[in-house]
Amino acid sequence: MRTLAKQHETGVEEYDRLFGQETHDNRILFELSIVAVFQAGLGWKTAASKIPVFRQVFADFDYQQVAGFDEPEFEALLQNPQMIRNPRKIQAIIMNARAIYRLQPEFKDFADYLWHFSEQQTWMMAVPAGAPLNQQSSFGTVVAKDMKKRGFKFLGPTTVQLLLLASGIIQRQETDEA
């Protein structure tokens, strides 16, 4: 039990350390997208606590390997007692890895794809002080619609908004206005 508590703590600390840091690292972006998918309906701490497990079962966040997952790997994930065993979300991760893989040759990689929406620059989002992190933006909605069109699953406007914030593509700028 002690090991699970330590794993939980490690995942939350890692996500907290990564959140909001500008990254162009494909493995980190895939990791953040996995947390975004699993946090839907559960909360970020629950999903982030599973990062050590996700790292193990999702090939150290190598989307090219995950894109090759088939029925045996899917079944193994469903049977893993340390996993969040939601079949729709697990299937979404595999489908998202395949969608990332299909971005080429139009985009160099996943980072190039995500950052192209902001022309490779951080997008500043003015929000009232104390506004919730999952507050949607037109920017996040545009990215979510494009991702859906390209076959990404479980990444709607709210989860994409959180992914963009987590990866530093969007930076929140709090204002005094309500």
Reduced to 3 states (helix: H, G, I; strand: E, B; else coil), residue 126 is strand
Q: Which residue has the tokens 């545009």?
A: 142
Residue 1: band (very low, low, confident or very high) from pLDDT cuts 50, 70, 90: very low
- Predicted confidence (pLDDT) per residue in 9-43, tens digit: 788 888 888 888 999 999 999 999 999 999 988 88
Q: Which residues of 135-157 are buried (b: 16+ CB within 10 A; e: fewer)?
A: eebebbeebbeebeeeebbbbbb
Neighbours of 90 (CB within 10 A): 23
Q: What is the mean pLDDT of the chain?
A: 90
Distance of CA 69 to the CA centre of its chain: 18
- Decide if 135 contacts 21 (C-beta within 8 A): no
Sign of CA dihedral 34, 59, 81, 96: positive
Reduced to 3 states (helix: H, G, I; strand: E, B; else coil), residue 71 is helix
Tokens of 175: 């204002």
The dihedrals phi and psi of 170, each to the nearest 5 degrees, come to -105, 135
The Cα 90–Cα 87 span in angstroms is 5
pTM score, whole prediction: 0.90
Confidence at residue 64, expressed as pLDDT on a 0 to 100 scale: 96
Find the mean pLDDT for residues 57-85: 97
- Under DSSP, the state recorded for 176 is S
- Predicted confidence (pLDDT) per residue in 98-134, tens digit: 999 999 999 999 999 999 999 999 998 877 777 766 6
Confidence at residue 16, expressed as pLDDT on a 0 to 100 scale: 82
Confidence at residue 2, expressed as pLDDT on a 0 to 100 scale: 45
